Structure 1
Amino acid sequence: MALPLLKYAPTTQNSRVAPLRVGSDEDPKAASMDKAMDREDQNFVIEAAYRQIFFHAFKVDRDRTLESQLRDGQLTVRDFIRSLCLSDTFTRSFYNLNSNYKVARHLVEKLLGRQTYGKSEEIAWSAVLMTRGVKGMVDDILDSEEYLNAFGYDTVPYHRNRVVGSREVGETPFNITSPRYDAYYRGILGFPQIVFTGQARTLPERASQRRGGFPQDYLPWVRSLPALRSAPVLGNASMDYLSKVPYRSVGR
């Protein structure tokens, strides 16, 4: 039985406040197909869609048929986003590896461009995900009034209003707040790992020259010394423990 979307109380969040500020680098950058004038602009919109859903799409994850239909106007950007969320790549690499709560939070962040309104909204979308699957949840989000008012049919969803007025640092990007592996699995796999990509510095040749005081210089002299004579050390294996225990008769 399919459950309707449970009611949840919206909280006052940054995405619900109209931005009143001078433009900055953290302002949202919309990629819309209706503003694409040539093939290069169309490729930019397609890359933005892949980056929004998959964060990075390898060659095997791309669907050339959908891309061609999007360029020819047979599909809208909303339909293209829907196909990416229902693709085998998303199911295999994210849906099958996470709980319903994390999948619901991830889809809300990716498709609506905002954080979830607390645990209540996660539970509400998790119920939809449990009864109707990913397709039911994706259809409800893409057909919602909030999505259509924010992005319409031809705009790729993006992180809305990342800048917070009273803070120097804005909201954390969604690809960092919802990583593929949780902290538990990152600890098992040894993440994060520091990868050095710079040029290794080598010591100059004069640093390898010995100037006296090295222990290696005195090793042949130490080996030539006669062995020190000392009493043999007896091990515990040769000790008679029974003779060491005091004897006490029963009658005393």
Structure 2
Amino acid sequence: MSIPILRYSLTTQNQRVNGFETNPGEEQPNIYTTDNLPTAFEMDEIIWACYRQIFSEHQILSSTREPFLESQLRFNQIKIKDFITALLLSDSFRYLNYNVNNNYRIVEMCVQRILGRDVYNEREKLAFAVVVGDKGFESFIDLLINSDEYAENFGETIVPYQRRRIIAQRSKGEIPFNLKTPRLTAAYAIKQNSAQLLSSIAVRKFRPQEQSPKAGDPALFLTMVNEVAPLII
């Protein structure tokens, strides 16, 4: 028997507050939609916005493109909602995001990119993580895509976007959801045999005190040489 989704409170967040800005600036999201019969150029922008929302910008490569789905979207055979769903369930998204993150991180990432907001709290993160673990990734995506929240904010013809980024958190290093890099572990980098990934991951090793070098140990001399070597001309 499937585990029912846990209950959690809807914590107040910025996207749940009506806007009051008189002069919208660059922080206001661009709305990409197929409601107004877009031109070929505008459709290119819509497709790019879909990729940029679901994948991090550095992940938008030729291998992540879906030409057949793009063609269907251009000729109105599928809706933006269908295109977004297909990108989330694609092999590329699984390989670049789902396979390299735990359930909690993938919940955060998908809520941000599908619903355009952060998770409300740890309780919501746990509730969705249980869904991923019990029913699988596809059921979790279906739950978000077919939710009332998604329908009310994006419907079938609007590209999801980060809702209301007007927040006083720039000092905290806040960045758009679609620019956040997925978590890559050292084990994943070793598996992929990627020196570039390995060099970008800080691997910290604990050394017991009794194994620390003592006075007179040659290891101390070697460390000293490495420290002064760059100063020798």
**TM-score tier (shorter):** 0.7 to 0.9
Q: Whose radius of gyration is greater, 1 or 2?
A: 1
Residues 1:109 and 2:119 aligned together = no
Measured after TM superposition, the shift of residue 123 of structure 1 is 0.3
Q: 1:180 corresponds to which residue?
A: 182
Which secondary structure does the structure 2 equivalent of 1:33 belong to? Answer: coil
Counterparts of 1:12 and 1:125, CA distance in 2: 19
- Tell me the amino acid that sits aligned with residue 135 of structure 2: R
Q: Deviations over 1:203-232 (max 9, x none)?
A: xxxxxxxxxxxxxxxxxxxxxxxxxxxxxx
Contact 1:163 1:169 (8 Å CA) reproduced: no
1:145 aligns with 2:148: yes
Cα 1:187–1:74, aligned 2, differ >3 Å: closer, same or farther? closer
Partner of 1:14: 14
Partner of 1:40: 41
In structure 2, which of residues 124, 128, 132 is the aligned counterpart of residue 125 of structure 1?
A: 128
More relative contact order, 1 or 2 (CA 8 Å, 6+ apart) = 2
Displacement of 1:175: 3.6
1-side partners of 2:125 and 2:170: how far apart? 28
Moved more, 56-65 or 91-100: 56-65
Secondary structure, aligned partner of 2:35: helix
Q: Within 2, Cα distance between the matches of 1:26 and 1:45?
A: 19
TM-score normalised over the length of structure 1: 0.69
Letter in 2 for 1:180: P
| 4+ aligned runs moved over 4 Å, structure 1 | 166-171, 182-188
- After TM superposition, the score normalised by the length of structure 2 is 0.75
Aligned partners of 2:114 and 2:160 also within 8 Å: yes
Count of aligned pairs: 190
Flag structure 1 segments of 5+ consecutive residues without an equivalent: 193-252
Give the 5 Å matches for 1:65-214.
65-164=68-167, 171-176=174-179, 178-181=180-183, 189-190=199-200
Secondary structure of 2:136's counterpart equals helix
Give yes or no for contact 2:55–2:178 (8 Å, CA) kept in 1: no
The code of the aligned residue for 1:190 comes to S
2:63 to 51, 60, 63: 60
